[in-house]
Amino acid sequence: MRRPSVLKLGVILAASALVYLAAARSRKSFAQETTNFPVIGKIIRHDPRLDQLIAADAKLEVLASGFEWSEGPVWIKDGGHLLFSDIPRNSVMKWKEGAGISLYMKPAGYTGVADYGREPGSNGLTLDSEGRLVLCEHGDRRISRLESGGGGKRTLIDDYEGKRLNSPNDLVFKSNGDLYFTDPPYGLPKGSDDSRRELDFCGVYRLTRDGKVTLLTKEMTRPNGIAFSPDERTLYVAQSDPQRAVWMAFPVKPDGTVGPGRVFYDATSMVGKLPGLPDGMKVDRAGNVFATGPGGVHIFASDGTPLGRIDTGEATANCAWGDDGSTLYITADAYLCRIKTRTKGAGW
C-alpha cells in the first residue's frame, strides 16, 4: 500500500535512522547490543477469546526504525531471520536477532535508470515451496523469483493478455504451488492516472505452476493484502479504498478459481479516525485472521467477529509469522515490530 504523507517520528526513530543509513551504505549488519527493545502501542480487547491468542502482558516491541515505508515481511526459517521491503528506498532489508538490520537487496523492485516516483521498490514478499524468495515489484511491474545459487532473478509474470500489470502488491502460494496475487496501481508514479497504465482495472489473479494466468476478479477497486484460510477453501483479500475499506472473503472452487465474494468485515467507518487502511494480512492455524487496517492489526475470528486489535499508533502495512510460528512480526510505517502470541501461523 502507499506510504502516508506524514510520518510521526520520535527520538528512537531518529537514532535508528542513522543506523539504518550506515548499514545500507556498508551492506553490513550492525551489532545489536540489547534485547530490551522499546515498546509502543497497546492491545485493545473486544472479545474474551483474544486472551487465548495474545497474553494480557504481551508487548509490541520496536526492533528497528527509520524506514520510509516498511512492508512485506517474510520469515526465513533457514537462517532464522526476517526480510521486508522498504518500498521508497527500493530495498529489501534483513533483520536478525542479535545482529540487527542490514541491507539485503538493492535495487529490489525497480532496475531502471530514470526516476520512478515515490514507491519504486518491492512490496509483498513470500517464499515458494523450495524456499526461494518471490517478490512483488512496483517499478518493474512484475512478480519475480530470486533463483538459488546466485542465479539472479527470474520473471514469473509481468502481463495479462499482453498488457503490463499495474504494480503487483501482495501474494500468497496455495499448497499446490499456484500463486495468487493482487495488482492495484499504487506503485505507478501517478497511481491510477499514470499514462503508463495499460490495464483499466485492478485485478486479483492466479498464476498456476505451469504458467497459466487467470483473472479471478476485477470487481475490487484497490485489492491489496491476500491470504488463504488454513483449509484453503477461503481466499481473503483486503481492499485499501478509503471509500470502501473492506476485507472480502471469496470461496475457492475445486478448480482453484473463486466464487462471488462476501464482505468479511467493513472498516470504512474507521477511515480518517485511525491511521491506515486494510492492507496485508496473515491467518493462524485456527483460522483467525490478523489483518492490518485502520489503527493497527485487527484480529478476527474465522466468522468475521472482531476479537481485538494491536493498536500500533501508526499506519500499519503488513505482518508475518516468525521464529517458531508464534511471533507476529509487523511492519508499521517507519517501524519493524514484533509481538509474541499464544497461537501459531497457518502451516507452522
In the chain, where the domains are located: 11-340
pLDDT in tens, the chain (348 residues): 555 443 344 434 334 443 444 444 333 334 566 668 999 999 999 999 999 999 999 999 999 999 999 999 999 999 999 999 999 999 999 999 999 999 999 999 999 999 999 999 999 999 999 999 999 999 999 999 999 988 899 999 999 999 999 999 999 999 999 999 999 999 999 999 999 999 999 999 999 999 999 999 999 999 999 999 999 999 999 999 999 999 999 999 999 999 999 999 999 999 999 999 999 999 999 999 999 999 999 999 999 999 999 999 999 999 999 999 999 999 999 999 999 999 999 999
Run of H or E including 60: strand 60-65
Record the cell numbers describing residue 37, joined without a space.
527493545
User: So what's the pLDDT on residue 1?
Assistant: 55
User: So what's the pLDDT on residue 34?
Assistant: 62
Single pTM value for the model = 0.92
SS3 for 18? helix
CB 293 within 8 A of CB 309: no
Q: Give which of 137, 102, 134 is closest to 121, Cα–Cα.
A: 137
User: So what's the pLDDT on residue 26?
Assistant: 38
User: So what's the pLDDT on residue 36?
Assistant: 84
CB 252 within 8 A of CB 258: yes
Given strand 171-173, what is the order of strands in its sheet? Answer: 171-173, 179-183, 203-207, 213-217
Give domain 11-340's CATH architecture: 6 Propeller (2.120)
